[in-house]
A = this chain, B = another copy of it.
Amino acid sequence: MRPSHRAADETRSIQITRQFTKHAEGSVLVEFGDTRVICTASVEERVPPFLKGKGRGWVTAEYGMLPRATHTRSSREASRGRQDGRTMEIQRLIGRALRSVVDLEALGERTVTLDCDVIQADGGTRTAAITGSFVALADAVRYLLERKKVRKNPLHGQVASISVGIYQGVPVLDLDYAEDSEAETDMNVVMNDAGAFVELQGTAEGHAFRIEELQAMLDLARGGIEHLLRKQRDVLGLPG
């Protein structure tokens, strides 16, 4: 029995709210149950130094957590003076995931930055961030298309992410904090709308997982991802 009484293959309640704040080209509040992340997409007419003059754009991400998004207050990274390893790992993951569905040449020499800020954490913040960022990015792309800043749609697919794990010996989908903190294995899966893997990150501190367990987790993930991709299309008004 899961602490939340969900079935093993059941996600938490998923909410995606567009236009959450007013200044950004794309702004989304994404909720996976009690996990709440603000994802904004900002378009800037410049690229990082390594891309200058190459006719290509860039998509990148930054991740942060409000100090009291969690049970106990964690110190503010800005006041400590550096982002920790976990933050860097997550923001690199979000950036790679989003770039997998973008044609950077069609984007032109500009940068879209996805800022993912967790205002309440209850497990799965990175998977929520990826899933919500896709919608923010889609809105930013629409902004560019409407203003004719790009001629061709730089988005060539959808991307979403969900976690799976082994909790009390049973493979489960979309772990919340109560499960995550006790899971034997935790895996974050990023997939696109062609059903292929964009990123797979499985970790077992202590109890390693066997190939059959991996298989079972990936089956759960596929179902969860399909659910998320549908939610994204719904909120964006795209055909189902």
Contacts and interface: CB of A to CB of B under 8 A. Distances in A.
A83 B88 CA distance: 10
Copies held by the complex:
6
Nearest to A122: B22
Given A67-B62, A89-B92, A119 B38 contact: yes
Contacts of A42: 67-68, 72-73
Give the secondary structure class of A's interface: mixed
A147 B201 CA distance: 39
Contacts of A91: 85
Interface in A142-201: 187, 191-192, 194-201
Interface residues of A, number: 66
Given A62-B67, A194-B208, A87 B92 contact: no
A166 to B, nearest CB: 11
A203 B96 contact: yes
A15 interface: no
A230 to B, nearest CB: 19
Contacts of A115: 66-68, 73, 76
A68 B226 CA distance: 30
A185 to B, nearest CB: 8
A127 interface: no
Contacts of A77: 78
B24 A68 contact: yes
Contacts of A68: 21, 23-24, 27, 40, 42, 115
B205 A100 contact: yes
User: Which 5 pairs between the two chains have the least Cβ-Cβ distance?
Assistant: A196-B208, A85-B88, A77-B78, A200-B202, A42-B73
12 contacts: A21-B69, A21-B120, A24-B68, A38-B119, A42-B68, A64-B66, A84-B88, A88-B89, A197-B204, A197-B208, A197-B210, A199-B203
